[in-house]
Amino acid sequence: MRTAIRQLLVVNISQVESRVYEPHAAGPTIKKPYLVLREGVQDPEADWSAFSTIIEVWPYVTRTTFQQVDALASAIINALHRARFSAAGEQHLVDYLGSAGQDFVDTEWDAITRGLRFQVFALGWLNGLTYEPDPVETLQSWVKELWPVEAHTDSSSWAPSNEKPGIYWRLAKLNTVQATAAVNWLEAQINGHILAPSAAVRLIWARRITEGLAQQRRLRMPDGGPLELLKVAANSEVDPMRRGQVQLITRFGALQPVGECSILRRAVVSGAVNREVTENGKPESADG
C-alpha cells in the first residue's frame, strides 16, 4: 500500500520531482521540496472492512514562506483525497482527515513543513455478497431495479468522484430466531452505505432509500422466498464508510439441507410366501 500511495504522489506532484521518502531516508542534505510519507497503525474498529490505516504526508520546503507549504499541501490533497487504487489485489480508498498539526519550522533539516493526515480504507467489503439465499443480493437487485441509472451498485466500476452515489449493503449481524424441520428463520441486520462526495446527496439518498424500503415491506429473494423488512432507520451523521447511514432489520428463511438416505439393499417379506428382495432387485424365495 505504501508503494501505491508513493506512486500517486510521484505521478501527480511534479514539483517534488519524484522526491518522496520514508522518514529514515529523508534529511537535511536532500534537495527541496520533497515529501515524507509516514504510515500509521491499522484501525481495529474497522476490521469488518479488512482494515483502515492512517497515513501522514509532510511537505518540506526551504525556509522562505509558508505559502509554498500551502501550495504543496493543496497539491497533495488533490492527489490523494478520494483517490482509489489497487494494492496486493485489494481496492483502497483514500480520505483526507485534516492537518496533523500546526506549521512547523524544522531547524535540524533547515525546512518548514506541515503534516497532512489521510485515512486509507480497504474496499473488499463493497461487494458484500455471500451465498443464496442472499439478502444483500436481494437489496442490490432492488436498488438496480428502482434506480437503474441514478445509482451505482457495481463496486468494480464506482469511483469516489462520481456524482452518482454508490449504494452498497453489508450483512452486519445474523441470528436464528426459529428453526423447524424444513426451514431456519433468520433475523439479519444489514447496513446500507451511501457513498458520494456531497453530504447533501448522501442525505437525499438516505431518505429516498429509507422511505422506499418502508413502503416496500417485503422483497422477493433469488430462491423465491420472502425477505421481510421489519425495521428501517437512517442516520445521515454517521460515517458512511465505517457504519453506513441505513440500518435495516430483516427476516428470511433458509431451507434445511436435504439429508442423504442410504439405498435399501435387502428386504425380507413374511407372509403366505416368504420372499427376499436383494441388491439386484430380483425376488428370491426365503426358503432357497
- Give the chain's end-to-end CA distance (angstroms, integer): 79
Provide the 3-class DSSP secondary structure of residue 237: coil
Peptide bond into 222 cis (omega under 30): no
- Do 211 and 99 lie in one domain? The reply is no
CB 158 within 8 A of CB 152: yes
Checking DSSP bridges between strand 84-87 and strand 52-61, what pairing results, if any?
Answer: unpaired
Peptide bond into 33 cis (omega under 30): yes
Lowest mean pLDDT among 106-110, 252-256, 267-271: 267-271
Indicate if the pLDDT at residue 47 is higher than 50.
Answer: no
The mean pLDDT value for 11-28 works out to 94
Give domain status of residue 49, yes or no: yes
- Do 83 and 97 lie in one domain? The reply is yes
CB 163 within 8 A of CB 140: no
Question: How far is it, in rounded angstroms, from Cα 125 to Cα 244?
Answer: 12
- Do 90 and 174 lie in one domain? The reply is no
Supply the angle between the helices 66-80 and 2-12 in degrees, to the nearest 10: 120
Give domain status of residue 267, yes or no: no
Residue 134 burial (10 A CB sphere; 0-12, 13-18, 19+): buried
Per-residue model confidence as pLDDT tens digits over 231-258:
999 999 988 887 899 999 999 998 777 6
pLDDT of residue 260: 65
Give domain status of residue 147, yes or no: yes
Helices (H) and strands (E) in the chain, counts: 4, 16
- Output the pTM of the full model: 0.65
Give domain status of residue 272, yes or no: no
Whichever domain contains 95, its CATH number is 3.30.2000.30
- Do 16 and 91 lie in one domain? The reply is yes
Question: How far is it, in rounded angstroms, from Cα 285 to Cα 288?
Answer: 5
Range of the domain at 114: 2-124
CB 119 within 8 A of CB 53: yes
- Do 69 and 160 lie in one domain? The reply is no
- Do 27 and 70 lie in one domain? The reply is yes
Whichever domain contains 204, its CATH number is 3.30.2000.10
Give domain status of residue 276, yes or no: no
Report the DSSP beta bridge partners of residue 248.
190, 232
- Do 149 and 214 lie in one domain? The reply is yes
- Do 99 and 164 lie in one domain? The reply is no
- Do 141 and 86 lie in one domain? The reply is no
Total number of domains constituting the chain? 2
Give domain status of residue 273, yes or no: no
Lowest mean pLDDT among 24-28, 86-90, 193-197, 208-212: 86-90
